[in-house]
A and B are shown apart, each in its own frame.
Chain A
């Protein structure tokens, strides 16, 4: 369901996605206001220094994971939380199924969590006989339609209101109007019933605070908070790199996350869940579980790619990426799209098909410029290209072509001549130029700058 890697290439998937005209318009329509809003929001602020702090807090956390995770676990246990350790996706799924079955649960509600997409949790819960309902509006649509999210923040950025209307009308058994307000109200009714009936609520974690043993959830809809409030069991799925040392760190990381993700100072709901219901509190879960998931992360610790673990999943690098903006999230073949997906997927997924994703970039560096925690995505993509092409053979023709290029561009006269001839070559594409221009428009600027 979440896996379209096998037997496809980035190119074949891109061709498929480029044929969807709505998506190519919908992405800029949705993300451009966010990018513009980000710059407006930070206009009176020292965004560069905040990003430095964000980079240092996240970089420090990732470099000190054993110590900080141990502190987090101790603090969670002191708070009455049961902590579980999952080495891989299969173990994580088994742990959640076993918590649900021990609790005698039948119905599960879920808040949005990219980690649960990674580990493909829902099919495992359904196979165990549990009824699972995604409660984020976008994720609910994705679930009803057997689709996949295509953007970290906006899961159904690729879907039209007409498609949502058709889908919800099918569920309702009556024709609903194509009005976002009415469609959202319909979903609210369905989901509220699910919340009130649920035995278990499963959330992700935006941050896990080691100092206090708190799971921080950032949502606008409020489904994250209802997930932690109404069911009698709360399970938080936490990627082990989500840890941050101090509660105070949220004063830096929250505005960086919400500013970059949705151009908001803070989201409507920022929830800190630090344990099950206490004596004297009127509601809340009887049990709280935290499932810490490795899922390929420990292999990145200590490698050339360590900095990618600083990611706070804001989606800003997708919004700005010229490749993502054309092909959308599904072309990347797995859970994450855009520059962050091009780096994470080859690291998390062993398949040969995943290894080419470093190529899904024009190396323009726009992702470096926008990343709120200054992950050098552009360098990581180059490192990935280098690593994944090690041992590759280069044909004699290619080697000759590059030797000629190197000679030509070292000589001003030949360089000028080549610049004159290039537009001509693009018009009459032969050989490699034909393959290059098959999917791209080549535009040469005129005049001097």
Chain B
């Protein structure tokens, strides 16, 4: 069970990157996971359709906090289609035994052990869903 809570996951949760709120964001979305009460807020600023600044506030489990931390760490320069593509890849990694995303998003490989725990998939995916929704609110 503790393989869900490896050092890198705990590190991201304990010292989350880009934690907090943005002043005057272009888009902001708060999402709840109704199963457990995870709550994530993603704020974004855009430049030419791509994320130029991003921050998150996660009142959530370790997995969700770590996912939000990695998302915000890697999302600068990403547009909606990029994030949707990453979301699809990590969803497939968790649900269909697909390969981990490549490039800078390979950091998401720390969530591979979550694949065996279906009830926790949503914890990892929630920040991505919130970020994509935030991008859509700007569109």
A binds B: no
Interface residues of A (CB under 8 A from B): none
